[in-house]
DNA sequence: TAAAACTATAAAGCTACTATAAGGTCAATA
DNA sequence: TATTGACCTTATAGTAGCTTTATAGTTTTA
Protein backbone atom coordinates (compact mmCIF):
# COMPACT_ATOMS: atom_id res chain seq x y z
CA UNK A 1 0.00 0.00 0.00
CA UNK A 2 1.39 3.41 -0.93
CA UNK A 3 0.93 6.67 0.88
CA UNK A 4 -2.02 7.87 -1.19
CA UNK A 5 -4.04 4.74 -0.51
CA UNK A 6 -3.26 4.89 3.20
CA UNK A 7 -4.26 8.51 3.27
CA UNK A 8 -7.58 7.76 1.62
CA UNK A 9 -8.17 4.79 3.91
CA UNK A 10 -7.77 6.84 7.07
CA UNK A 11 -9.06 10.11 5.69
CA UNK A 12 -5.99 12.29 5.95
CA UNK A 13 -3.77 14.06 3.46
CA UNK A 14 -0.55 12.43 2.41
CA UNK A 15 1.46 15.35 3.74
CA UNK A 16 -0.07 14.83 7.15
CA UNK A 17 1.23 11.26 7.20
CA UNK A 18 4.72 12.42 6.26
CA UNK A 19 4.44 15.13 8.88
CA UNK A 20 3.59 12.66 11.65
CA UNK A 21 6.45 10.46 10.55
CA UNK A 22 8.81 13.40 10.66
CA UNK A 23 7.56 14.32 14.13
CA UNK A 24 8.25 10.84 15.38
CA UNK A 25 4.60 9.92 15.92
CA UNK A 26 4.73 7.27 13.22
CA UNK A 27 7.67 4.93 12.50
CA UNK A 28 9.46 5.28 9.16
CA UNK A 29 7.92 2.69 6.82
CA UNK A 30 9.75 0.49 4.35
CA UNK A 31 10.60 1.94 0.98
CA UNK A 32 10.30 0.58 -2.53
CA UNK A 33 13.32 0.66 -4.82
CA UNK A 34 12.12 3.97 -6.18
CA UNK A 35 11.95 5.47 -2.70
CA UNK A 36 8.17 5.31 -2.35
CA UNK A 37 6.88 4.50 1.13
CA UNK A 38 5.13 1.16 1.55
CA UNK A 39 2.64 0.54 4.32
CA UNK A 40 0.97 -2.45 5.90
CA UNK A 41 -2.65 -2.32 7.01
CA UNK A 42 -1.55 -2.53 10.61
CA UNK A 43 0.29 0.76 10.15
CA UNK A 44 -3.07 2.35 9.50
CA UNK A 45 -4.20 1.52 13.02
CA UNK A 46 -1.44 3.65 14.48
CA UNK A 47 -2.41 6.49 12.20
CA UNK A 48 -6.09 6.16 13.06
CA UNK A 49 -5.17 6.26 16.75
CA UNK A 50 -3.42 9.56 16.25
CA UNK A 51 -6.36 10.97 14.34
CA UNK A 52 -8.82 9.97 17.02
CA UNK A 53 -6.62 11.56 19.64
CA UNK A 54 -6.51 14.75 17.59
CA UNK A 55 -10.28 14.72 17.29
CA UNK A 56 -10.35 14.51 21.08
CA UNK A 57 -8.23 17.65 21.12
CA UNK A 58 -5.06 16.02 22.41
CA UNK A 59 -1.82 17.73 21.40
CA UNK A 60 0.88 15.87 19.52
CA UNK A 61 2.95 15.92 22.70
CA UNK A 62 0.13 14.28 24.65
CA UNK A 63 -0.27 11.68 21.92
CA UNK A 64 3.42 10.98 22.06
CA UNK A 65 3.08 10.46 25.79
CA UNK A 66 0.21 8.03 25.31
CA UNK A 67 2.27 6.11 22.79
CA UNK A 68 5.08 5.78 25.27
CA UNK A 69 2.63 4.20 27.71
CA UNK A 70 1.46 1.79 25.04
CA UNK A 71 5.03 0.70 24.57
CA UNK A 72 5.14 -0.37 28.21
CA UNK A 73 1.85 -2.21 28.63
CA UNK A 74 2.40 -3.72 32.05
CA UNK A 75 2.68 -0.51 33.99
CA UNK A 76 -0.33 0.76 35.89
CA UNK A 77 -2.48 3.04 33.78
CA UNK A 78 -2.55 5.85 36.33
CA UNK A 79 -0.59 8.16 34.06
CA UNK A 80 -2.93 7.58 31.15
CA UNK A 81 -5.96 8.42 33.20
CA UNK A 82 -4.19 11.43 34.70
CA UNK A 83 -3.34 12.73 31.24
CA UNK A 84 -6.98 12.52 30.29
CA UNK A 85 -8.08 14.18 33.51
CA UNK A 86 -5.70 17.04 32.80
CA UNK A 87 -6.99 17.36 29.30
CA UNK A 88 -10.59 17.39 30.49
CA UNK A 89 -9.80 20.23 32.84
CA UNK A 90 -8.10 22.15 30.03
CA UNK A 91 -11.22 21.77 27.95
CA UNK A 92 -13.44 22.84 30.81
CA UNK A 93 -11.49 25.98 31.46
CA UNK A 94 -11.64 26.85 27.78
CA UNK A 95 -15.40 26.44 27.90
CA UNK A 96 -15.65 28.68 30.92
CA UNK A 97 -13.52 31.36 29.32
CA UNK A 98 -15.49 31.27 26.10
CA UNK A 99 -18.79 31.49 27.93
CA UNK A 100 -17.63 34.59 29.77
CA UNK A 101 -16.48 36.01 26.46
CA UNK A 102 -19.80 35.29 24.83
CA UNK A 103 -21.60 37.15 27.58
CA UNK A 104 -19.38 40.17 27.06
CA UNK A 105 -19.86 40.11 23.32
CA UNK A 106 -23.62 39.79 23.56
CA UNK A 107 -23.89 42.72 25.93
CA UNK A 108 -21.65 44.77 23.68
CA UNK A 109 -23.78 43.88 20.70
CA UNK A 110 -26.93 44.88 22.57
CA UNK A 111 -25.58 48.39 22.89
CA UNK A 112 -26.24 49.04 19.22
CA UNK A 113 -29.47 48.74 17.25
CA UNK A 114 -28.22 48.95 13.67
CA UNK A 115 -29.34 51.97 11.69
CA UNK A 116 -26.71 54.25 13.14
CA UNK A 117 -23.68 55.89 11.66
CA UNK A 118 -20.32 54.31 12.46
CA UNK A 119 -19.58 57.42 14.47
CA UNK A 120 -22.46 56.62 16.80
CA UNK A 121 -22.22 52.84 16.74
CA UNK A 122 -22.68 51.44 20.21
CA UNK A 123 -20.37 48.53 19.52
CA UNK A 124 -17.41 50.64 18.47
CA UNK A 125 -18.11 53.09 21.27
CA UNK A 126 -18.20 50.26 23.76
CA UNK A 127 -14.84 48.95 22.69
CA UNK A 128 -13.26 52.39 22.39
CA UNK A 129 -14.33 53.56 25.79
CA UNK A 130 -13.46 50.30 27.41
CA UNK A 131 -16.81 49.85 29.14
CA UNK A 132 -16.18 46.17 28.99
CA UNK A 133 -17.41 45.16 32.42
CA UNK A 134 -15.09 42.27 32.90
CA UNK A 135 -16.37 38.96 33.94
CA UNK B 1 6.93 59.32 25.16
CA UNK B 2 9.13 56.43 24.10
CA UNK B 3 8.10 52.88 23.38
CA UNK B 4 8.85 51.50 26.83
CA UNK B 5 6.66 54.07 28.53
CA UNK B 6 3.82 53.50 26.09
CA UNK B 7 4.11 49.76 26.62
CA UNK B 8 3.90 50.17 30.37
CA UNK B 9 1.00 52.60 30.07
CA UNK B 10 -1.11 50.21 28.04
CA UNK B 11 0.22 47.00 29.52
CA UNK B 12 1.85 45.39 26.50
CA UNK B 13 5.37 44.43 25.60
CA UNK B 14 7.38 46.76 23.42
CA UNK B 15 7.75 44.06 20.75
CA UNK B 16 3.99 43.81 20.54
CA UNK B 17 3.76 47.50 19.69
CA UNK B 18 6.39 47.14 16.97
CA UNK B 19 4.59 44.05 15.74
CA UNK B 20 1.27 45.88 15.38
CA UNK B 21 3.03 48.70 13.59
CA UNK B 22 4.64 46.25 11.21
CA UNK B 23 1.27 44.59 10.59
CA UNK B 24 -0.27 47.93 9.70
CA UNK B 25 -2.57 48.06 12.73
CA UNK B 26 -0.76 51.08 14.13
CA UNK B 27 0.66 53.98 12.10
CA UNK B 28 4.45 54.48 12.08
CA UNK B 29 5.21 57.07 14.77
CA UNK B 30 7.69 59.92 14.54
CA UNK B 31 11.31 59.21 15.29
CA UNK B 32 13.89 61.05 17.35
CA UNK B 33 17.24 61.92 15.79
CA UNK B 34 18.65 58.72 17.20
CA UNK B 35 15.92 56.65 15.58
CA UNK B 36 13.86 56.06 18.73
CA UNK B 37 10.10 56.00 18.24
CA UNK B 38 8.20 58.90 19.84
CA UNK B 39 4.53 58.60 20.77
CA UNK B 40 1.76 60.95 21.75
CA UNK B 41 -0.80 60.00 24.38
CA UNK B 42 -3.48 59.85 21.72
CA UNK B 43 -1.54 57.08 20.06
CA UNK B 44 -2.11 55.01 23.17
CA UNK B 45 -5.85 55.06 22.55
CA UNK B 46 -5.41 53.27 19.27
CA UNK B 47 -3.25 50.69 20.95
CA UNK B 48 -5.70 50.21 23.78
CA UNK B 49 -8.47 49.73 21.24
CA UNK B 50 -6.55 46.90 19.65
CA UNK B 51 -5.89 45.29 23.00
CA UNK B 52 -9.55 45.40 23.99
CA UNK B 53 -10.49 43.84 20.67
CA UNK B 54 -7.96 41.07 21.27
CA UNK B 55 -9.40 40.46 24.72
CA UNK B 56 -12.74 40.06 22.98
CA UNK B 57 -11.12 37.41 20.82
CA UNK B 58 -11.17 39.38 17.58
CA UNK B 59 -8.47 38.47 15.08
CA UNK B 60 -6.05 41.06 13.77
CA UNK B 61 -7.86 40.89 10.44
CA UNK B 62 -11.17 41.66 12.13
CA UNK B 63 -9.57 44.54 14.00
CA UNK B 64 -8.18 45.89 10.76
CA UNK B 65 -11.68 45.76 9.33
CA UNK B 66 -13.09 47.66 12.31
CA UNK B 67 -10.38 50.30 11.88
CA UNK B 68 -11.38 50.77 8.27
CA UNK B 69 -14.93 51.49 9.41
CA UNK B 70 -13.66 54.01 11.94
CA UNK B 71 -11.91 55.80 9.12
CA UNK B 72 -15.26 56.33 7.43
CA UNK B 73 -17.46 57.45 10.31
CA UNK B 74 -20.52 58.54 8.37
CA UNK B 75 -21.39 55.19 6.91
CA UNK B 76 -24.10 53.11 8.53
CA UNK B 77 -22.72 50.79 11.18
CA UNK B 78 -24.37 47.68 9.75
CA UNK B 79 -21.02 46.13 8.88
CA UNK B 80 -19.65 46.69 12.37
CA UNK B 81 -22.60 44.99 13.94
CA UNK B 82 -22.46 42.18 11.40
CA UNK B 83 -18.80 41.61 12.18
CA UNK B 84 -19.65 41.26 15.85
CA UNK B 85 -22.57 38.97 15.10
CA UNK B 86 -20.27 36.76 13.08
CA UNK B 87 -17.74 36.71 15.83
CA UNK B 88 -20.37 35.82 18.40
CA UNK B 89 -21.46 32.89 16.29
CA UNK B 90 -17.84 31.75 15.95
CA UNK B 91 -17.52 31.81 19.71
CA UNK B 92 -20.79 29.98 20.16
CA UNK B 93 -19.84 27.22 17.78
CA UNK B 94 -16.54 26.83 19.58
CA UNK B 95 -18.42 26.47 22.85
CA UNK B 96 -20.74 23.89 21.36
CA UNK B 97 -17.85 21.91 19.94
CA UNK B 98 -15.96 21.99 23.21
CA UNK B 99 -19.01 20.90 25.17
CA UNK B 100 -19.49 17.90 22.88
CA UNK B 101 -15.81 17.14 23.26
CA UNK B 102 -16.02 17.32 27.03
CA UNK B 103 -18.87 14.84 27.02
CA UNK B 104 -16.86 12.43 24.92
CA UNK B 105 -13.80 12.80 27.11
CA UNK B 106 -15.75 12.27 30.30
CA UNK B 107 -17.39 9.14 29.00
CA UNK B 108 -14.04 7.86 27.81
CA UNK B 109 -12.56 8.57 31.20
CA UNK B 110 -15.39 6.73 32.92
CA UNK B 111 -14.41 3.58 31.07
CA UNK B 112 -11.38 3.18 33.29
CA UNK B 113 -11.14 3.01 37.07
CA UNK B 114 -7.40 3.41 37.63
CA UNK B 115 -5.62 0.43 39.13
CA UNK B 116 -5.30 -1.36 35.81
CA UNK B 117 -2.35 -2.15 33.63
CA UNK B 118 -1.87 0.03 30.57
CA UNK B 119 -2.71 -3.04 28.52
CA UNK B 120 -6.19 -3.10 30.02
CA UNK B 121 -6.71 0.64 30.37
CA UNK B 122 -10.22 1.54 29.36
CA UNK B 123 -9.12 4.93 28.11
CA UNK B 124 -6.50 3.63 25.72
CA UNK B 125 -8.79 0.82 24.63
CA UNK B 126 -11.53 3.31 23.97
CA UNK B 127 -9.34 5.44 21.74
CA UNK B 128 -7.72 2.48 19.99
CA UNK B 129 -10.93 0.78 19.11
CA UNK B 130 -12.57 3.96 18.07
CA UNK B 131 -15.67 3.48 20.20
CA UNK B 132 -15.95 7.21 20.27
CA UNK B 133 -19.67 7.48 19.79
CA UNK B 134 -19.70 10.76 18.01
CA UNK B 135 -22.58 12.66 19.29
C1' DT C 1 4.60 8.38 -26.57
C1' DA C 2 2.87 11.93 -24.07
C1' DA C 3 -0.09 13.58 -20.67
C1' DA C 4 -2.11 12.80 -16.09
C1' DA C 5 -1.59 11.24 -11.63
C1' DC C 6 1.31 9.95 -8.05
C1' DT C 7 5.51 10.17 -5.30
C1' DA C 8 9.74 12.50 -3.22
C1' DT C 9 12.17 16.39 -0.52
C1' DA C 10 12.68 20.94 1.17
C1' DA C 11 11.02 25.21 2.42
C1' DA C 12 7.62 28.72 3.26
C1' DG C 13 3.06 30.20 5.06
C1' DC C 14 -0.55 30.42 8.52
C1' DT C 15 -1.76 33.25 13.82
C1' DA C 16 -0.27 36.37 17.21
C1' DC C 17 2.89 37.00 19.27
C1' DT C 18 7.53 35.90 22.22
C1' DA C 19 12.35 35.35 22.46
C1' DT C 20 16.97 35.76 21.02
C1' DA C 21 20.98 37.99 18.87
C1' DA C 22 23.84 41.70 17.92
C1' DG C 23 24.35 46.16 18.26
C1' DG C 24 23.51 51.57 19.00
C1' DT C 25 22.27 55.42 22.58
C1' DC C 26 22.09 57.70 26.86
C1' DA C 27 22.54 58.96 31.82
C1' DA C 28 24.84 58.07 35.92
C1' DT C 29 28.57 56.33 38.41
C1' DA C 30 33.58 54.89 39.81
C1' DT D 1 37.21 58.81 31.41
C1' DA D 2 35.67 54.47 31.30
C1' DT D 3 32.15 51.60 32.21
C1' DT D 4 27.94 49.95 33.82
C1' DG D 5 23.01 49.60 33.20
C1' DA D 6 18.76 50.65 31.15
C1' DC D 7 16.84 51.59 27.15
C1' DC D 8 16.40 51.57 22.09
C1' DT D 9 17.20 49.56 17.10
C1' DT D 10 16.67 45.71 13.43
C1' DA D 11 16.55 41.06 11.99
C1' DT D 12 15.68 36.35 12.75
C1' DA D 13 13.74 32.19 14.79
C1' DG D 14 10.51 29.75 17.57
C1' DT D 15 5.69 28.29 19.04
C1' DA D 16 1.35 24.25 17.02
C1' DG D 17 -0.26 21.55 13.53
C1' DC D 18 -0.54 21.30 9.77
C1' DT D 19 -1.16 23.28 4.56
C1' DT D 20 0.84 25.12 0.51
C1' DT D 21 4.27 25.76 -2.82
C1' DA D 22 8.28 24.61 -5.54
C1' DT D 23 10.91 21.44 -7.91
C1' DA D 24 11.71 17.03 -9.56
C1' DG D 25 11.40 12.06 -10.37
C1' DT D 26 8.04 7.83 -11.28
C1' DT D 27 4.10 5.34 -12.65
C1' DT D 28 -0.15 4.83 -14.93
C1' DT D 29 -3.22 5.78 -18.51
C1' DA D 30 -4.97 7.34 -23.01
ZN1 LIG E 1 -4.54 18.67 26.64
ZN1 LIG F 1 -23.57 49.75 15.48
ZN1 LIG G 1 -14.04 36.24 14.88
ZN1 LIG H 1 -6.80 3.44 32.58
Q: What is the pLDDT of residue B25?
A: 96
Nearest-nucleotide field for B14 (CA, C1'): D8
**Residues of chain A neighbouring B110 (CB-CB closer than 8 A):** none
CA of A46 to the centre of ligand 3 (A): 35
- Sketch the domain layout of chain A as residue ranges: 3-110
Across residues A112-126, what is the average pLDDT? 92
Q: Considering chain A, what is the average pLDDT of its residues?
A: 93
Neighbours of B79 (CB within 10 A): 16
Q: What is the CATH number of domain A3-110?
A: 1.10.1660.10
**Contact status, residue A62 vs residue A87, Cβ threshold 8 Å:** yes
Q: What is the pLDDT of residue B76?
A: 93
Span B36-72, pLDDT tens digits? 999 999 999 999 999 999 999 999 999 999 999 999 9
Span A70-111, pLDDT tens digits? 999 999 999 999 999 999 999 999 999 999 999 999 999 999
Which helix (H) or strand (E) is A30 found in, with range?
strand A30-31
**Contact status, residue B102 vs residue A95, Cβ threshold 8 Å:** yes
- Stated pTM of the model: 0.89
Q: Do A105 and B91 touch (CB under 8 A)?
A: yes
pLDDT higher than 50, residue B100:
yes
**Residues of chain A neighbouring B94 (CB-CB closer than 8 A):** 98
Q: Do A56 and B95 touch (CB under 8 A)?
A: no
pLDDT higher than 50, residue A135:
no
Q: What is the pLDDT of residue B57?
A: 95
- The set of residues, in sequence order, having a beta carbon less than 8 Å from that of B103 and lying 6+ positions away, is B135
CA of A94 to the centre of ligand 3 (A): 16
Strand C-contacting residues in B 26-55, CB cut-off 7 angstroms: 32-35, 54
Q: Does A84 touch chain B (CB under 8 A)?
A: yes
Amino acid sequence: MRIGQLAQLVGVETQTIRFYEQQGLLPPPDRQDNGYRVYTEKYGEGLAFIRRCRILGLSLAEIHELQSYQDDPHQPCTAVNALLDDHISHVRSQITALQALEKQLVSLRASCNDDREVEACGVLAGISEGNMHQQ
